[in-house]
Chains A and B, each alone.
Chain A
Amino acid sequence: MKLTVWTYEGPPHVGAMRIATGMKDLHYVLHAPQGDTYADLLFTMIERRNHRPPVTYTTFQARDLGADTAELFKDAAADAYQRFKPAAMIVGASCTAELIQDDPGGLAARLGLPCPVLPLELPSYSKKENWGASETFYRLVRGLAGPHAPSPGEPRLERREGPPRANLLGPTAMGFRHRDDIKEITKLLGKLGVEVNVCAPMNASVIDITKLGDADFNVVLYPEIADTAARWLEKAFGQPRTTTIPIGVGATRDFVREVAEIIGVDPEPALNDEDLRLPWWSRSVDSNYLTGKRVFVFGDATHAIAAARVAVEEMGFELVGLGAYNREFARDVREAAAKYGVEPLITDDYLEVEAAIEAARPELVLGTQMERHIAKRLGVACTVISAPVHVEDFPARYAPVMGYEGANVLFDTWVHPLVMGLEEHLLGMFREDFEFSDEAGPSHLGGHAPAPRPAAADPLETPDPVQAEPASPDEPVWNDDALKELKKIPFFVRGKARRNTESYAAEHGAATITVETLYDAKAHFGR
Chain B
Amino acid sequence: MTAELASTPAESDCTTDILRERGQREVFCGLTGIVWLHRKIQDAFFLIVGSRTCAHLMQSAAGVMIFAEPRFATAVIEDRDLAGMADANEELDRVAGQVLARRPDIKTLFLVGSCPSEVIKLDLSRAAERLGKTHPHVRVLNYSGSGIETTFTEGEDFCLEAIVPELPESSTDNRSLMVVGALADVVEDQFVRLFDALGIGPVHFLPARNSEDLPPVGPGTRYLLAQPFLGKTAAALEGRGATRISAPFPFGAEGTESWLRAAADTFGVDADHFESVIAAPRARAKKALEHYRDALSGKRIFFFPDSQLEIPLARMLHTELGMELLEVGSPYIHRSHLDCELPQLPASTQLSEGQHVDTQLDRCRAARPDLTVCGLGLANPLEAEGLSTKWAIELVFTPIHGFEQAGDLAELFARPLRRRDVLRVS
- A residues with CB within 8 A of B: 1-7, 9-11, 13-14, 33-42, 44-46, 48-52, 56-62, 65, 76, 79, 83, 94-96, 99-100, 123-126, 128, 369, 373, 376, 390-391, 485, 488-489, 515-516, 519-520, 522-524, 526-527
Instruction: From known contacts A1-B94, A3-B73, A61-B149, infer whether A519 and B284 are also in contact, taking CB-CB under 8 Å.
Output: yes
The answer on a CB contact under 8 Å between A95 and B79 is: no
* B367-379 interface bits toward A, Cβ cutoff 8 Å, 1 = contact, 0 = none: 0000000011111
B298 at interface, CB cutoff 8 A: no
- Report the nearest A residue to B285, measured CB to CB: A523
**Does B363 reach chain A (CB closer than 8 Å)?**
no
Residue of A whose beta carbon sits closest to that of B91: A1
Tell me which of A46, A48, A527 contacts B411 (CB under 8 A).
Answer: A527
Q: Which residues of A contact B29 (CB under 8 A)?
A: 33-36, 38
Q: Is the CB of B99 within 8 A of A126?
A: no
The answer to whether B380 and A38 have CB atoms under 8 Å apart is: no
Interface size on B, residues (CB 8 A): 78
Asked whether B52 is an interface residue with its Cβ less than 8 Å from the other chain, the reply is: yes
B417 to chain A, nearest CB (A): 14
Given A50-B383, A526-B288, residue A83 in contact with residue B186 (CB < 8 A): no
Considering the complex, give the chain A residue whose CB is closest to the CB of B61: A38
Q: In the complex, are the beta carbons of B288 and A99 less than 8 A apart?
A: no
Q: A99-B119, A519-B404, A526-B411 are in contact. Are A1 and B291 (CB under 8 A)?
A: no
Known: A11-B52, A522-B404. Contact between A96 and B358, CB under 8 A? Answer: no
Chain B neighbourhood of A1, CB < 8 A: 49, 75-78, 81, 86, 88, 91-92, 94-95
| Docked-complex contact A526 and B291, CB < 8 angstroms | yes
Among candidates A34, A50, A60, residue contacting B27 with C-beta atoms closer than 8 Å: A34
Asked if A38 contacts B148 (CB within 8 A), the reply is no
Bound: A7/B29 CA distance, A: 19
| 18 additional contacts (CB under 8 A) given A9-B56, A100-B119 | A1-B88, A10-B53, A11-B51, A14-B53, A34-B147, A37-B25, A38-B29, A39-B60, A59-B24, A60-B148, A76-B24, A95-B53, A96-B119, A99-B119, A124-B51, A373-B67, A515-B193, A527-B408
- Given A11-B51, A34-B148, A42-B60, A519-B281 contact (CB < 8 Å): yes
- A residues near B384, Cβ cutoff 8 Å: 50-51
- Partner pick for B376 among A41, A56, A79, A128, CB 8 A cutoff: A41
Question: Closest approach, in angstroms, between the C-beta of A128 and any C-beta of chain B?
Answer: 7
Interface assignment of B426: CB less than 8 Å from any CB of chain A? no
- With both beta carbons as reference points, the residue of chain A lying nearest to B82 in the complex is identified as A125
Q: Decide: B381 and A37 in contact? CB cutoff 8 A.
A: no
Q: Give the one of B55, B67, B82 with max A CB within 10 A.
A: B55
Query: Is the pair A38, B60 in contact by a Cβ cutoff of 8 Å?
Result: yes
Tell me whether A65 and B358 are in contact (CB under 8 A).
no
Residues in chain A near residue B185, CB distance under 8 A: 488
- Residue in B26, B32, B193 with the greatest tally of chain A CB atoms within 10 Å: B26
| Docked complex Cα distance between A65 and B148 (Å) | 9
Cα A94 to Cα B26 in complex, Å, equals: 16
In angstroms, Cα B120 to Cα A221, docked, is 40
Q: Does B416 contact A (CB under 8 A)?
A: no
Contacts A35-B29, A95-B115, A523-B288 known; A44 to B377 CB distance under 8 Å?
yes
Q: With A and B bound together, what is the CA distance between A52 and B5 in angstroms?
A: 43
Beta-carbon contact of B288 and A520 below 8 Å:
no
B123 to chain A, nearest CB (A): 15
Contact call B25/A34, Cβ cutoff below 8 A = yes
- Please give, as numbers and ranges, the residues of chain B lying within 8 Å of A39 by CB-CB distance: 56, 60
Q: How far is the CB of A521 from chain B (nearest CB, A)?
A: 10
Could you show 28 A-B contacts with beta carbons less than 8 Å apart? A1-B76, A1-B86, A3-B73, A4-B73, A7-B59, A10-B52, A10-B56, A14-B56, A34-B25, A34-B29, A34-B147, A35-B28, A36-B57, A37-B26, A38-B28, A39-B60, A40-B376, A41-B61, A50-B380, A51-B384, A76-B23, A99-B116, A99-B119, A124-B52, A126-B79, A489-B186, A519-B281, A523-B407
> Are B82 and A523 within 8 A (Cβ)?
no
| Docked-complex contact A526 and B52, CB < 8 angstroms | no
Taken together as a complex, chains A and B put the C-alpha atoms of A211 and B26 apart, in Å, by: 35
> In the complex, which residues of chain A have a beta carbon less than 8 angstroms from the beta carbon of B32?
38
A516: shortest Cβ distance to chain B, in Å? 7
Does B146 interact with chain A (Cβ within 8 Å)?
Answer: yes
Q: Are A3 and B99 in contact, CB atoms less than 8 angstroms apart?
A: yes
Measured between beta carbons, the chain A residues less than 8 angstroms from B178 are none
Taking a contact as CB atoms closer than 8 A, the residue among B57, B98, B148 that contacts A61 in the complex is B148
- The distance in angstroms between the C-alpha atoms of A1 and B94, with both chains bound, is 9
User: Is the CB–CB distance between B116 and A96 below 8 Å?
Assistant: yes
**B382 → A minimal CB distance (Å):** 9
Minimum CB–CB distance from B229 to chain A (whole Å) comes to 15
The answer to whether the Cβ of B118 comes within 8 Å of any Cβ in the partner chain is: yes
Rounded to whole angstroms, the CA-CA distance of A10 and B52 in the bound complex is: 6
Do A390 and B63 touch across chains, with their CB atoms under 8 A apart?
yes
Closest 8 CB pairs of A and B: A35-B29, A35-B147, A40-B377, A50-B384, A96-B115, A41-B376, A523-B284, A1-B91
B235 to chain A, nearest CB (A): 18
